[in-house]
Amino acid sequence: MSHRSARFPGESFLAGVAFAVALVFPALADEPGGDREAGKRLAGQCRTCHGMEGLAQIPIAPHIGGEPAVYLESQLKAFRDGQREHEMMSIVARGLSDAQIADLAAWYAGHQIEVELQADQAQAPAACVMCHGADGLHQVPDAPNLAGEANIYIDTQLKAFRSGRRSHDIMSEIAAAMTDQEIRAAADWYADVKITITEVE
């Protein structure tokens, strides 16, 4: 009896570990499944706007180097399938197969992003840090980095979530509650972070 009851804490500890592992493993399972070499060849189609390493070359394009592969894949599929629309990206993504999308995601996700916060971390938009970090580096695998994106890009995306032009369970709800001023403040905060993206072969 005592033996049996003594095992309970251990069992719940193990259950706790199993739970923690279950939380960690989806992140590991999100490691790029694509072929980076093939992705690099395909990235020739992206470089005028996103660079080879994913550092934006035009102000309206986001940085995509070092983003989580799952996020890059989900967005490319959303553009291809019409859930997310943009005059340039919808055309770019139209002809991509699932395998090519995985390869491109693996290529761009594999680069190294470093951030340098210019301001006091304590001033970061509190409603965002849990998923996007104070410095704009993603804290959960399906959330993008916001660090160093142009403020107009962040502003536009938040307004798209708010108006329903872009839709996502979490972000649509968060943006729906934001005023133009709050949107601008969050956009300015993350745009202000200095980033370096280093190409990783």
Report the interface residues with ligand HEC, using CB under 6 A.
42, 45-46, 48-50, 60-62, 64, 72, 74-76, 86, 88-89, 92, 104, 125, 127-128, 130-132, 142-144, 146, 154, 156-158, 168, 170-171, 174, 186
**Min. distance of Cβ 80 from ligand HEC in angstroms?**
10
Q: Measured from the CB atom, is 17 or 142 closer to ligand HEC?
A: 142
Q: Measured from the CB atom, is 18 or 152 closer to ligand HEC?
A: 152
| Token pair recorded at residue 145 | 């980095």
Nearest to 72 by CA among 128, 167, 145: 145
| Maximum pairwise Cα distance, the chain | 71
**Min. distance of Cβ 20 from ligand HEC in angstroms?**
19
**Min. distance of Cβ 147 from ligand HEC in angstroms?**
10
Q: Measured from the CB atom, is 2 or 179 closer to ligand HEC?
A: 179
The C-alpha atoms of residue 32 and residue 105 are separated, in whole angstroms, by 7
Q: Measured from the CB atom, is 15 or 152 closer to ligand HEC?
A: 152
CB-CB contact of 109 with 50 (8 Å): no
Q: Measured from the CB atom, is 113 or 128 closer to ligand HEC?
A: 128
**Min. distance of Cβ 5 from ligand HEC in angstroms?**
39
The CA angle 196-32-128, to the nearest 5 degrees, is: 55
Q: Strand 194-198 relative to strand 112-116: parallel, antiparallel, unpaired?
A: antiparallel
Q: Measured from the CB atom, is 125 or 196 closer to ligand HEC?
A: 125
- Helix then strand then coil, in percent of the chain rounded to 5, is 55, 5, 40
Q: HSE on the CB side for 179, CA within 13 Å?
A: 3
**Min. distance of Cβ 189 from ligand HEC in angstroms?**
8
The total of other beta-carbon atoms located within 10 Å of residue 162's CB is: 20
**Min. distance of Cβ 13 from ligand HEC in angstroms?**
28
Give the three-class secondary structure for 7.
Answer: helix
